[in-house]
Amino acid sequence: MNRISQISISLVLSLSLPGIALAEVPPPPAAQDPATMTEEQKLQRAKEIYFEAEDMASQEKWNEAVALYDQAYHLAPGKHGFAYKVGIAAWNAGMCPKADQYLKHFVKYADSEKAKNKEERIPEAKRILGEIAVQG
């Protein structure tokens, strides 16, 4: 049997098997427009993105972590802990202006929120802000 015959038989068999039809493969889910999402959906999506960002941060993929934390923050801007995470990741990525912006925001608004570990996070944010100020 030649190579073309083998390919033809394989193709016919694969198309005749139940559940294998190409039309049945669903397309990947499209990202939902935040403008059409409820606040609960935005918060849920922000949490999902946050966990992706945490994974990138644990691998020290700081640029990717910054982008993901930033997305999470913009979906749930009232969660100032996300601003802290953007700032820390940006600092680690060498993005001082972005780190400065987000850490200042965190320090300004974290007191009004029940930020997890804010007793540790605010001093850390202030320390980094001081280093950014010294470095210019």
**Closest alpha carbon to 35 in 61, 74, 2:** 74
What dihedral angle (degrees, nearest 10) is formed by the CA atoms of 51, 89, 115, 83?
Answer: -100
Residue 38: CA count within 13 A, CB half-sphere: 3
Structure tokens at 93: 């990525």
Judged on CB neighbours under 10 Å (0-12, 13-18, 19+), 111 is exposed
Q: Which residue has the higher pLDDT, 34 or 40?
A: 40
Query: pLDDT digit string (tens) for 67-124?
Result: 999 999 999 998 889 999 999 999 999 999 999 999 999 998 886 556 556 678 889 9
